[in-house]
């Protein structure tokens, strides 16, 4: 068995380890444009090419005679996986058409409107268009139609800000297209489902707490499980998941929905037929007992996974660690916090020795810690203890952890 893995981060490294646990005779070909990536040590061969170069990925897949092309937790590699697999006649749980509709916000929004899936009013623009917002009400959000990790996403309050930040959004799009949509008040939820034989099953929902970096930019610093939703909002979210699965023909696949909750009102931001990034699969397994990464692997192999979810009645949080900016040399306190039971586990998301910006998107995280508690008060206390104990050091030994997010 020879399998090509697209992208070389922590999530893909975990996917390779799941593959090795399943198959004795396995050869893994890793594709990532960066020469030093986490997943490389788990692969048999690392070819330094961009996963966005469809022609090159196809060329390598043919030369290596791979049986499958796989990835985990990212939209752009997901598109490459589906397109190249379809062109080569390789098995894949998603078609090119499905992934285009699920990864490009322009197609996604249009299908939402056609299928009565509640979302913000929006307009689509290319760089040649006049940014005419007639019919939309400020505040607005401008974002690339084909980017992820919050890159190029800005909240704007007037025409001047829109024109300024649209330039940034165009920098992050490969298709010269941005979307401008109305901003919805409320809190954001990330809802994971799994669709098996047409049945949509709830896996885990979490509330995403965001830090206001400036007037136009927010970053997610914490996810809290379970979120507090009204019965009507919960019912609406389940109904929306079923509508999405039917409209986008999602089956034997994960389904990730991001939405804004305001009282009983639910508005969909976006969704995809993949797992969330940043080691979210670990959070899901810790909270529910369900190995969703293995299930996703089984879907990619054409198998039908079994979805079993346990409810512990506990409270959980994954806290993301950002820096004030500087060279990321070390983190102190992680093992101590695991030993004394404050945190259950941690994941490093950036290697030591790299320069890291102050937070502008989720890609600026350097680590995340997972915390479990019997109730919300206990959870809040553990989060405070973790953040006050941890130190992130630069090359001069100075602490550069950005604590004000949690104050």
List the 27-31 sheet strands across, edge first: 45-47, 27-31, 2-6, 68-70
Q: What is the pLDDT of residues 53-98, one digit of tens each?
A: 999 999 999 999 999 999 998 888 999 999 999 999 999 999 999 9
Looking at residue 277, what is its pLDDT?
85
Position 212 pLDDT exceeds 90: no
Where residue 221 falls among pLDDT bands split at 50, 70, 90? very high
Fold of 316-407: Aldehyde Oxidoreductase; domain 3 (3.90.1170)
Looking at residue 207, what is its pLDDT?
97
Position 149 pLDDT exceeds 70: no
Pairwise pLDDT comparison (121 vs 361), residue with the higher score: 121
Position 407 pLDDT exceeds 90: no
Looking at residue 215, what is its pLDDT?
76
Helix axes 75-88, 96-103, angle to 10 degrees: 160
Once rounded to an integer, what is the mean pLDDT over residues 366-382?
Answer: 96
% of the chain with per-residue pLDDT over 70: 100
Q: If you average pLDDT over every residue of the chain, what do you get?
A: 94
Q: What is the pLDDT of residues 307-344, one digit of tens each?
A: 999 988 999 999 999 999 999 999 999 999 999 999 99
Q: Do domains 121-182 and 316-407 have the same CATH topology?
A: no
CATH of domain 121-182: 3.30.1490.20
Q: What is the pLDDT of residues 31-65, one digit of tens each?
A: 999 998 999 999 999 999 999 999 999 999 999 99
380: left (phi over 0), alpha (psi -120 to 50) or beta: alpha
Pick the CATH number of 184-313 from 3.20.20.70, 3.30.470.20, 3.40.50.2300, 3.40.50.300: 3.30.470.20
Q: What is the pLDDT of residues 225-264, one digit of tens each?
A: 999 999 999 999 999 999 999 999 999 999 999 999 999 9
For the chain, the structural domain boundaries read 2-92, 121-182, 184-313, 316-407
Once rounded to an integer, what is the mean pLDDT over residues 349-357?
Answer: 92
CATH of domain 2-92: 3.40.50.20
Once rounded to an integer, what is the mean pLDDT over residues 102-114?
Answer: 90
Q: What is the pLDDT of residues 2-35, one digit of tens each?
A: 999 999 999 999 999 999 999 999 999 999 999 9
């Amino acid at each position: 068995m020879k399998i090509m893995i697209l992208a070389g981060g922590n999530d893909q490294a975990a996917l390779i380890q799941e593959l090795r646990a399943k198959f004795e005779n396995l050869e893994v070909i890793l594709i990532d444009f960066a020469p030093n990536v986490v997943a490389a040590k788990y692969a048999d061969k690392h070819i330094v090419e961009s996963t966005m170069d469809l022609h090159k990925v196809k060329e390598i897949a043919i030369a290596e005679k791979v049986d499958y092309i796989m990835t985990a937790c990212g939209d752009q590699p997901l598109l490459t996986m589906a397109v190249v697999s379809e062109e080569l006649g390789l098995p894949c749980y998603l078609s090119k058409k499905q992934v285009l509709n699920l990864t490009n916000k322009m197609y996604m929004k249009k299908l939402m409107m056609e299928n009565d899936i509640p979302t913000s009013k929006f307009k689509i623009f290319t760089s040649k268009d006049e940014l005419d917002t007639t019919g939309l009400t400020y505040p607005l959000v401008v974002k690339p139609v084909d980017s992820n990790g919050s890159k190029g996403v800005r909240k704007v309050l007037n025409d001047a800000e829109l024109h300024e930040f649209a330039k940034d959004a165009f920098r992050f799009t490969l298709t010269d297209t941005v979307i401008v949509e109305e901003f919805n008040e409320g809190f954001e939820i990330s809802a994971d489902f799994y669709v098996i034989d047409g049945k949509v099953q709830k896996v885990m929902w979490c509330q995403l707490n965001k830090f206001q970096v400036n007037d136009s930019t927010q970053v997610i610093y914490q996810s809290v499980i379970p979120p507090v939703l009204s019965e009507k909002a919960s019912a609406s979210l389940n109904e929306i998941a079923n509508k999405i699965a039917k409209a986008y023909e999602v089956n034997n696949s994960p389904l990730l929905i991001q939405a804004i909750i305001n009282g009983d009102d639910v508005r969909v931001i976006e969704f995809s037929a993949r797992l969330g990034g940043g080691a979210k699969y670990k959070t899901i397994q810790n909270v529910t007992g369900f190995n969703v990464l293995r299930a996703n692997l089984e879907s990619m192999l054409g198998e039908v996974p079994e979805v079993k979810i346990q409810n512990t009645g506990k409270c959980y949080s994954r806290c993301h660690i950002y820096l004030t900016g500087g060279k990321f040399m070390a983190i102190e306190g992680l093992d101590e916090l695991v030993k004394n039971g404050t945190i259950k586990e941690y994941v490093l998301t950036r290697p030591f020795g790299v320069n890291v910006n102050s937070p502008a998107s989720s890609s600026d995280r350097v680590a995340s810690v997972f915390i479990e508690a019997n109730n919300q008060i206990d959870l809040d206390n553990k989060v405070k203890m973790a953040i006050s104990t941890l130190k992130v050091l630069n090359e001069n030994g100075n602490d550069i952890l950005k604590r004000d997010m949690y104050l």
